[in-house]
Amino acid sequence: MIPTKEEWMKALNDRHGIGFQKKISLATVAICGLGGLGSNIAIALARLGIGKLILIDFDKVDITNLHRQQYKANQIGMRKTEALQDNLKEINPYIVTEIHNVYLNENNAMSVLSDADIVCEAFDNPECKAMLTNFVLEKMCEKYIVAASGMAGLDSANLIKTRKISKRFYLCGDEVSDIKDGIGLLSPRVMLCAAHQAHTVLRIIAEEWKEGNENEQ
Amino acid sequence: MGGRHSLLLEVILVVRINGEDVDIGGKTVAEYLDFAGYDLKRVAVEVNGEIVPKSQYANTVFKDGDSVEVVSFVGGG
């Protein structure tokens, strides 16, 4: 039995408190890349009752994704945007999503990211990571960027951390473990990094949007 | 009595880069990144909390006391 929207919101308000839940429900978060990081960030934020998710990926679900990304065997071949949207709605039937089946670049980022308050960089390619980070910090001066670097391999989980680089720029990961070195990406360590990113989004929401200025969002 | 004179001649410009003091004052961002072996396509550079646009790397000069963060992304996601 699917709960009504009122039942759903009451459960979230009971858990998070009405004031904090209101802030969470007003936030729009863009997730750039729906792989091991992005699919896990999306699920965490959907469970929190985030206001809206903008989901961006050009790719389709492949059998080689299933060892760490939040898709299912019967979704192989689907667009990641649509598959993830389906999975999020199974968890939170009232989640609001906007999907973009594009390869994000400097030409389309301005329009695709326009509604976002916070941008999560969740690509795997380091040049794309740097492009998006530079783009948001240079061109979108009212937005936050939560980026990730270094989550491959079997090094300690405790090396995954979050650093506030500057007011609008947070970096999660161990900053050194490259996918090209050694064993590659393993589900738990990627989930740790994704959890750091989702948690940072939540902390930005909690700290930044004080009582009284909700109307500005 | 030549103290003031020699002081002027021995100006050391210290810049704090990723938490370490480095004597590279007077270099441009582009010169430092090249010297330190960074891949320009993988970095984001902030000076005193402000992003340096890539188009400005060649004509942004580090000043004494600047606080610099060079983030160099590695692959995986």
Q: Which among A37, A129, A166 has the least Cβ separation from residue B49?
A: A166
Q: How confident is the model at residue B7 (pLDDT cuts 50, 70, 90)?
A: low
Class of domain A5-210: alpha beta
Question: Residue A83 corresponds to which tokens in the numbers above?
Answer: 């598959």
> Is pTM beyond 0.80 here?
yes
- Pairwise CA distance, residues B9 & A183, whole Å: 53
Question: Residue A206 corresponds to which tokens in the numbers above?
Answer: 């909690």
Question: Residue A135 corresponds to which tokens in the numbers above?
Answer: 């783009």
Tell me which chain A residues have a C-beta less than 8 angstroms from the C-beta of B69: 165-166
Question: Residue A183 corresponds to which tokens in the numbers above?
Answer: 């064993």
Across the interface, do A126 and B74 touch by the CB < 8 Å criterion?
yes
Neighbours of A179 (CB within 10 A): 19
Question: Residue A205 corresponds to which tokens in the numbers above?
Answer: 């929401």
Rg of chain B in Å (alpha carbons): 15
pLDDT digits (tens, 9 = 90+) for B24-42: 878 999 999 999 999 999 9
Domains in chain B (CATH in brackets) are: 3-72 (3.10.20.30)
Question: Residue A79 corresponds to which tokens in the numbers above?
Answer: 């667009």
Tell me which chain A residues have a C-beta less than 8 angstroms from the C-beta of B55: none
If DSSP codes are grouped into helix, strand and coil, which group holds residue A153?
A: coil
Measured over the CA atoms of residue A12, residue A27, residue A217 and residue B52, the dihedral's sign is: positive
pLDDT at A212: 45
Does residue B41 sit at the A interface (CB-CB below 8 Å)?
yes
HSE-up (13 A, CA, CB side) for residue A42: 37
Tell me which chain A residues have a C-beta less than 8 angstroms from the C-beta of B51: 134, 137-138, 166, 169
Predicted confidence pLDDT, tens digits, chain A (217 residues): 999 999 999 999 999 999 999 999 999 999 999 999 999 999 999 999 999 999 999 999 999 999 999 999 999 999 999 999 999 999 999 999 999 999 999 999 999 999 999 999 999 999 999 999 999 999 999 999 999 999 999 999 999 999 999 999 999 999 999 998 888 999 999 999 999 999 999 999 998 754 444 433 3
